[in-house]
Every structure is written in C-alpha cells, then in structure tokens.
C-alpha cells in the first residue's frame, strides 16, 4: 500500500452543477484508510444487511471499492467506508468523532450522505419525509464528493435489491419501510438527480441501468410500473 498523504482537494460543484473536476490520478491510500477500515469494522460490528445473514461491512467495503473505481480520492474513500456510521451508529456524536479522527473533508462528506444525524434512541422523522429531504439535498449540494459517495452507495444497494428481487420476488418488499413502490420511487428520483449532476460517474450510469432492470423485473413479475 502506498504511503503519504493524498493532497488533492475534494471538488466543489460549480454553480451550474455538472461534473467539472478533471480526470484525477489514481488515489493514494495511506494509513488513514487502514484506520478507517478498522473503525468501520468496530462501529458496524454485529450489524447485518436487511433480511440477510450478510455482515453490514460487506456493503461499506463495496461502496469504498466503487468510489475507488470512480477515481475517488482518499477523503472520499474513507467517507464511503463511514457513510452510514452517523445515521446508524451514534448520530452527531459519531460525526464529531469521525471529524476528530479523519478530518473535516471526510466528515463533511459523511454528514452530506446521512439522512439523519440523530443519536441512538432519538426518534427520526418519518421515512418519506427523510427521503424527500435527502432528495432536495442532492439537488442543491455544492459538494461533488457527496454526490460521488451517494452514487456508489445507491448503486450497491440497488444491485442488492435487484439480486434479492430476482431470487424471492415481492417477498422482498416488507424489508423496506417504503415498500416496493416507495423504494423504486426513491431510487429513480436519486438516479435522475445524479444523472443530471454527476453525469461522468461510472456509478451514476450503472445505477440508472440497474434501476431500469429492477423496474422491468417488477413489471414482468407483478405487473406494475411507477
């Protein structure tokens, strides 16, 4: 593993959106990345993917890999590993711990990828309200890194949903608070925003293709479309 700090700054979105950042060199991963892998393992220890025996860490590693493949820098890859830590494991206290350990840039990305920063035991807003707020956030954020990590997150989730749907069909939907129609609506909305604001991303393109396949499978099996 290469040593040394990656000094490239995370790209902010220009006023017109789009994907203005020039093609970067391969990310340099330092011991900060190693520490983030261990931190994610400890924070999400014992957590499983919804309705499966699969360790939740598999999702975090997959999202980090997608960000790397999309030419993300070390700040973005660390944020990919930690993107659910605030929402699922400790709220704002967790966010400040991430900021202290991994720096402002990684913490800002994690915060931007979280639909809630409430702590354990605090009641979150209803699912639909949180998703609408997050959709608005994706439309307006000027932080390109948030879009990049979100695209990777949603792509891996959508791939998992598609694979499980092809396996068990409509029995899948009770796992999700939005049910089938709410889940498809949310992914389609996010995909459209990312296609507009981050068109150069491989994750963005693959997310759109995956949602198309999921919608086709649902129509073939259940007979409905959004």
**Residues belonging to the active site:** 87-88
φ, ψ at 224 (rounded to 5°): -130, 150
Instruction: Identify the CA nearest to 90 among candidates 75, 66, 107, 74.
Output: 107
Structure tokens belonging to residue 169: 């069909």
Q: What is the distance between the alpha carbons of residues 131 and 144, in angstroms, rounded to a whole number?
A: 19
Collapsing DSSP to helix, strand or coil, 37 comes out as helix
Tell me which H or E stretch contains 107: helix 104-112
Q: What is the distance between the alpha carbons of residues 44 and 145, in angstroms, rounded to a whole number?
A: 23
Give bridge partners of residue 12 from the DSSP assignment. 143
C-alpha dihedral (146, 147, 153, 156), degrees to nearest 10: -160
| Strand ranges in 78-158 using DSSP code E only, listed in sequence order | none
């Amino acid at each position: 593993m290469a040593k040394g700090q990656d000094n490239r700054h995370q790209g902010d979105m220009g006023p017109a959106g789009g994907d203005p950042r020039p093609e970067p060199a391969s990310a340099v991963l330092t011991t900060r990345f190693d520490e983030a892998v261990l931190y994610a393992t400890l924070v999400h220890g014992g957590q499983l993917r919804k309705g499966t025996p699969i360790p939740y860490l598999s999702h975090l590693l997959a999202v980090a890999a997608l960000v790397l493949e999309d030419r993300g820098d070390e700040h973005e890859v660390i944020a990919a590993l930690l993107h659910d830590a605030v929402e699922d494991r400790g709220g704002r206290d967790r966010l400040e711990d991430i900021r202290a350990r991994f720096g402002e840039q990684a913490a800002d990305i994690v915060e931007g990828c979280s639909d809630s920063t409430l702590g354990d035991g605090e009641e979150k807003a209803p699912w639909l309200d949180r998703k609408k707020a997050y959709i608005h956030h994706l439309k307006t954020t000027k932080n390109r890194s948030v879009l990049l990590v979100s695209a990777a997150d949603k792509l891996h989730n959508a791939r998992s949903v598609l694979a499980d749907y092809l396996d068990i069909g409509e029995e899948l939907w009770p796992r999700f608070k939005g049910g089938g129609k709410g889940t498809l609506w949310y992914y389609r909305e996010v995909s459209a925003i990312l296609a507009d604001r981050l068109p150069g991303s491989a994750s963005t393109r693959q997310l759109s293709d995956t949602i198309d396949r999921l919608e086709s499978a649902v129509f073939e099996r259940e007979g409905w479309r959004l």
